[in-house]
Amino acid sequence: MTASSTKPLLNVLAREKTPLPPWWLMRQAGRYLPEYRAVRNRIGSFLELCLSPVLAAELTMQPVRRYGMDAAILFSDILILPYALGQALEYRDGTGPVLEALAGPGDLGRLNAVDVLSRLAPVLETVERVRGMLGPRTALIGFAGAPWTVATYMVEGGTSRDFHRVKSWAYGDPLGFARLMEMLTEATGELLAAQVAAGAEAVQLFDSWAGVLPETYFVRWVIRPTARIVAFLKDRYPRCPVIGFPRAAGVLYERYVTETGVDAVGLDPTVPLGFAVARLGGRAVLQGNLDPVLLLVGGSSLEAAVVEMRHSFAATPWIFNLGHGVLPETPVENVATLARLLAAPEPG
Ligand code: 1CP
């Protein structure tokens, strides 16, 4: 991959050296920003926000305007795909997303993959709008949930503690579950390709619940669908970098990186920096992995962690990020401090 662009994020994704680590934050748009809360309070429904291109583009730009991150990430949600497949979805304050749960293969008839992209036209319009709003140094990242993580929400009906419904289906009826996963794998590839066609310059696959599966099932439901999506995208857009985020995958990060073909890998906060550099850095660009609570706490703990990361990752292509999303309670001034720490020519 050859980038040499004006955008540091794309250069690092092509394994080029940059004077400073490029950075962005998962969930960089959201409740910690007063300007987000102002829009959110005005528009009652989160789903409506995701499907309003003018507002969603504005929300995508908010953190970039305030802090100058090296990337904007499309304002949308991973559950927009089940919604577009026809599954009832609601976001409730306090509880999070609530979906009309799929109990088994008999419920697959409720889903319709045929017109998914036309139902997601507003999301693609948001991508186009944001591309027209960004400066020459800022890259636009598109995203989707990885099939396993999206399936957990579709089968559990929301966030889960033990994943017993989705695991019971996946382990007990692998052929029936494969039909759901096939549908998600195809639709996710199409959605990401459409985002690239609309102007996304890199894409991230969020597999937030990758870490709950034993190895056999991790290979089947995390690695294989991801590898298929990466191959599909590379076939259509060979130069578009793919970032995979198999959160909490532990030592299985290594198989994920070797077997999926992702260009870059998002590290959760528990991945030791030495392990990441030695075992993953040769194969994939590293991204991560500050504990979001350190950003919330700020002060000397935040500074020490950033200094340690900059030293540990100095010799490897690396994108600074959190190891998971920004917490809503994070003080806005801590993010400004982080931006200053990352802009200092010497790590400290
Ligand atoms: O204002 C509100 O109440 C909505 C809060 C919110 C926001 C701002 C949700 C609900 N989603 C989002 C946006 C979002 N979600 C983005 C936008 C871009 C950005 O990062 O700034 C992205 C990339 C996501 C991805 C997402 N949604 C993930 C993967 C990342 C992760 O956090 O693990 C997941 C799991 C979701 C599902 C989701 N969406 C929203 C909630 C409350 C949840 C459930 C989270 C859970 O199960 O714990």
For ligand 1, atom 18, the nearest C-alpha belongs to: 75
CA nearest to 22, candidates 139, 143, 195, 127:
139
d(CA 79, ligand 1 centre) in Å? 9
Establish if 14 belongs to a structural domain. Answer: no
**Residue 27 token pair:** 């969930």
pLDDT over 60 at 1, yes or no:
no
pLDDT-derived band at 84, boundaries 50, 70, 90: very high
Please determine, for residue 326, whether its predicted confidence score (pLDDT) is greater than 80.
Answer: yes
Q: What is the pLDDT of residues 243-269, one digit of tens each?
A: 999 999 999 999 999 999 999 999 999
| pLDDT reading at 133 higher than 60 | yes
Give the pLDDT confidence score for residue 99 in this predicted structure.
98
Query: Using 50, 70 and 90 to split pLDDT, how confident is the model at 11?
Result: very high
Q: What is the pLDDT of residue 34?
A: 98
81 lines ligand 1 (CB under 6 A): no
Higher pLDDT, 236 or 95: 236
pLDDT averaged over the chain?
97
Residue 30 CB–ligand 1 contact under 6 Å: yes
Query: What average pLDDT score do residues 216-232 get?
Result: 98
Q: Report yes or no on 130 lying in a domain.
A: yes
Closest residue by CA, ligand 1 atom 24? 77
Distance 77 CA to ligand 1 centre (A): 6
Instruction: Please report whether residue 1 resides in a domain.
Output: no
330 within some domain: yes
Domain count, the chain: 1
Question: How far does residue 272's CA lie from ligand 1's centre (Å)?
Answer: 25
Is the pLDDT assigned to residue 93 strictly greater than 90? no
pTM (two decimals): 0.97
Q: What percent of the chain has pLDDT over 70?
A: 99
Residue 25 CA: which ligand 1 atom is closest? Answer: 20
Q: Is 325 in the pocket of ligand 1 (CB under 6 A)?
A: yes
Ligand 1 atom at minimal distance to the Cα of residue 40: 1
Residue 8 lies in a domain: no
The three-state (H, E, C) secondary structure of the chain, written as one string: CCCCCCCHHHHHHCCCCCCCCCECCCCCCCCCCHHHHHHHHHCCCHHHHHCCHHHHHHHHHHHHHHHCCCEEECCCCCCHHHHHCCCCEEEECCCEEEECCCCCHHHHHHCCCCCHHHHCHHHHHHHHHHHHHCCCCCEEEEEEECHHHHHHHHHHCECCCCCHHHHHHHHHCHHHHHHHHHHHHHHHHHHHHHHHHHCCCEEEEEECCHHHCCHHHHHHHHHHHHHHHHHHHHHHCCCCCEEEEECCCHHHHHHHHHHHCCCEEECCCCCCHHHHHHHHCCCCEEEEEECHHHHHHCHHHHHHHHHHHHHHCCCCCEEEEECCCCCCCCCHHHHHHHHHHHHCCCCC
The answer to whether residue 2 scores a pLDDT higher than 70 is no
From the alpha carbon of 158, which atom of ligand 1 is closest? 47
- Residue 12 included in any domain: no
The band of 4, judged by pLDDT with boundaries at 50, 70 and 90, is: confident
By percentage, how much of the chain surpasses pLDDT 90?
A: 97
Q: Is 78 in the pocket of ligand 1 (CB under 6 A)?
A: yes
Question: Cα(140) to centroid of ligand 1, in Å?
Answer: 18
Q: Is residue 176 part of a domain?
A: yes
- How many angstroms separate the alpha carbon of residue 318 from the centre of ligand 1? 24
Residue 40 Cβ inside 6 Å of ligand 1? The answer reads yes
Residue 296: inside a domain: yes
Ligand 1 atom with least separation from CA of 204: 23
**Could you tell me the CATH number of the domain that includes residue 244?**
3.20.20.210
Query: pLDDT, tens digit, for every residue of 21-55?
Result: 999 999 999 999 999 999 999 998 999 999 999 99
Q: For residue range 104-118, what is the model confidence (pLDDT) as tens digits? A: 999 999 999 999 999
Give catalytic residues, as residue numbers: 27, 31, 40, 77, 153
CA of 308 to the centre of ligand 1 (A): 28
As a whole number, mean pLDDT of residues 62-76 equals: 98
For 333, the domain range is 21-343
Q: Is the pLDDT of residue 154 over 80?
A: yes
